[in-house]
C-alpha cells in the first residue's frame, strides 16, 4: 500500500493512496509521542493547528507525528479510527480507489474558541469538525453567554417571555 502526502482541496496537505484499499483494511497507525491532556493544552495554547488524538478516556493524547496526522476530516469519510490494544488505527470503511484522499470524521471535542469550520464539500457536511454532541454542547454554552450579556445590560429591555425558560 502506498500513501503519499500532497496538497488537498479540503485543507492544506492531505494523505492519498496510490493503490486500491479494500474495505476493512487497517491502513496506518496514528503515531506520535503520548502526552497528558494538560501537557498538550500547555504546549499548544497559542497554536492554531494541532494534531492531537485523544486515547482511552481522553486524559492521554497522541501528539501526531507521521503519515496519519495528515489525514483530513470529512463529514462523508472513507475511513474511521479504531483503538486496538491502545493503538489508534485508521481503517477503511469502504473500498478506496487509487488516487483518492483518505479522510475520517474527526468528531472534535474540547476546542475552546476555535470554530473548526468544515469545508469538506460533502452533501451531508455539518459545517463543523466538532462531533454532533459537541456542537450541541457549544450551542448551549453560547446561549448561556448571550443571556449573561443581556443580564449585564443596565438598561436592557425586558421582554415578557422567552428568556425565562429553564430548559
The yes or no reply on residue 75 touching Zn ion (CB under 5 A) is: yes
The yes or no reply on residue 108 touching Zn ion (CB under 5 A) is: no
Residue 77, number of CB atoms within 10 A of its CB: 22
Q: Are strands 103-104 and 72-73 parallel, antiparallel or unpaired?
A: parallel
Residues 6+ apart with CB under 8 A from 50: 40, 44
The residue within the footprint of Zn ion, chosen from 28, 52, 96, 120 (CB under 5 A), is 120
Residue 3 C-beta: closest distance to Zn ion, Å: 22
Question: 71 and 50 in contact (C-beta within 8 Å)?
Answer: no
Judged by CB under 5 A, which stretch of 77-85, 101-109, 120-128, 156-164 contacts Zn ion? 120-128
The residue within the footprint of Zn ion, chosen from 4, 9, 84, 125 (CB under 5 A), is 125
Nearer to Zn ion, 61 or 118 (CB): 118
Question: 103 and 74 in contact (C-beta within 8 Å)?
Answer: yes
The yes or no reply on residue 118 touching Zn ion (CB under 5 A) is: yes
Size of the site for Zn ion (CB under 5 A): 4
Backbone φ and ψ of 146, nearest 5°: -65, -45
Nearer to Zn ion, 70 or 104 (CB): 104
Question: Half-sphere exposure of 124 toward its Cβ, with a 13 Å CA cutoff?
Answer: 6
Question: 41 and 58 in contact (C-beta within 8 Å)?
Answer: no
Nearer to Zn ion, 54 or 77 (CB): 77
Residue 33 C-beta: closest distance to Zn ion, Å: 29
Rounded distance, CA 93 to CA 23, Å?
A: 5
Residue 126 C-beta: closest distance to Zn ion, Å: 6
Nearer to Zn ion, 7 or 124 (CB): 124
The yes or no reply on residue 61 touching Zn ion (CB under 5 A) is: no
Point out which residues bind Zn ion (CB under 5 A). 75, 118, 120, 125
Amino acid at each position: 500500500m502506498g500513501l503519499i502526502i500532497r496538497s488537498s482541496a479540503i485543507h492544506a496537505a492531505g494523505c492519498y493512496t496510490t493503490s486500491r484499499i479494500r474495505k476493512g483494511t487497517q491502513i496506518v497507525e496514528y503515531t506520535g509521542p503520548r502526552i497528558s491532556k494538560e501537557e498538550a493544552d500547555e504546549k499548544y495554547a497559542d497554536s492554531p493547528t494541532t494534531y492531537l488524538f485523544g486515547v482511552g478516556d481522553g486524559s492521554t493524547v497522541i501528539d501526531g507525528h507521521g503519515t496519519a496526522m495528515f489525514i483530513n476530516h470529512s463529514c462523508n469519510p472513507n475511513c474511521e479510527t479504531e483503538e486496538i490494544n491502545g493503538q489508534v488505527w485508521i481503517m477503511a470503511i469502504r473500498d478506496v480507489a487509487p488516487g483518492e484522499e483518505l479522510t475520517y470524521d474527526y468528531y472534535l471535542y474540547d476546542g475552546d474558541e476555535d470554530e473548526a469550520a468544515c469545508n469538506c464539500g460533502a452533501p451531508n457536511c455539518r459545517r463543523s469538525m466538532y462531533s454532533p454532541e459537541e456542537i450541541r454542547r457549544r450551542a448551549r454554552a453560547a446561549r448561556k453567554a448571550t443571556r449573561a450579556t443581556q443580564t449585564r445590560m443596565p438598561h436592557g429591555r425586558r421582554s415578557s417571555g422567552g428568556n425565562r425558560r429553564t430548559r
